[in-house]
Amino acid sequence: MRRPLIAGNWKMNKTVSESVEFARNFVDAVSDVADRDILICPPFTSLQVLGQIFDGTNVKLGAQNMHFEEKGAFTGEISPLMLKDVGCTFVILGHSERRHIFGENNDFINKKVLSAVSHGLIPILCVGELLEEREAGRTFEVVGTQLEEGLKGLSKEADFVVAYEPVWAIGTGKTATPELAEEVHRFLREKLAELFGKEKAESVRILYGGSVKPENVEGLMAMENIDGALVGGASLKVESFVKIVNFGR
């Protein structure tokens, strides 16, 4: 059985004081949850203080992005060493907003994935198609290429997570039906089996991301190949994120 992972991606939201208030209330509210992994990925400015609050709890800390170099003349960037130093264990890479707003391509994202793994961070590689790509029948082609090129050069021993995010469902209120999401998740697992072998493919967690809410998480998590959620807007409020974390309980 793959252990569920519920991850909150706060994107560019919450000041440090807002993050601290959320974290203290949230840690108390989920302290009895032991059968799934809980992850919060705040803005860089809140990482250090949340790392201290989450230390010794069942809530893990992750970052929303990173550069692949350890240090150097990369103004505005954050290195894997810096993330490790403040307590991060996960890092989101290749999010659709990084791809489509900031122009990151598969090769650039692959360098980050390899760097994350080599520094002991667990990358969450995001893949997903645009609305026009889905309507053109190119979903499998697009996500398959993103997966293969994003994981290129990785050994089967590497610890990584995949997140399927249909771009047309992020922040739009639209959600892929559980059946539609499952179809893509199944394809991704088959693709992982081609790349790394069936045994590895069965162990990799594949999350769904795209307007996940308390109202739809149960249906999504009932699917065989959906192993968790990458939650955006609904992870910004303690009440709604606690409900998502507690799906099925």
More confidently predicted of 167 and 110: 110
The per-residue pLDDT for 221 is: 97
Mean pLDDT is lowest, of 38-42, 168-172, 245-249, for: 168-172
Q: Is the pTM of this model over 0.85?
A: yes
> Hey, which residues does 91 pair with through a beta bridge?
63, 123
Check 67, 95, 97, 185 and give the catalytic one: 95
For residue 170, name the pLDDT band (cuts at 50, 70, 90).
confident
> Hey, which residues does 164 pair with through a beta bridge?
127, 208
Q: Is 95 a catalytic residue?
A: yes
Q: Is 236 helix (H, G, I), strand (E, B) or coil?
A: coil
Q: Is 13 left (phi over 0), alpha (psi -120 to 50) or beta?
A: beta
DSSP secondary structure code for residue 64 in this structure: S
Q: For 117-144, what is the mean pLDDT?
A: 96
The per-residue pLDDT for 46 is: 98
> Hey, which residues does 229 pair with through a beta bridge?
6, 208
Q: Is 70 a catalytic residue?
A: no
Computed over every residue of the chain, the mean pLDDT equals 96
Check 97, 165, 182, 185 and give the catalytic one: 165
Find all residues with CB under 8 Å of 161, minimum gap 6, and list them.
Answer: 5, 90, 122, 123, 124, 125, 204, 205, 206, 207
pLDDT digits (tens, 9 = 90+) for 198-237: 999 999 999 999 889 999 999 999 999 999 999 999 999 9
Whole-number Å distance between alpha carbons of 86 and 102: 25
User: What tokens were used for 203?
Assistant: 């162990």
pLDDT digits (tens, 9 = 90+) for 67-121: 999 999 999 999 999 999 999 999 999 999 999 999 999 999 999 999 999 999 9
Lookup result for tokens 């149960």 = 218
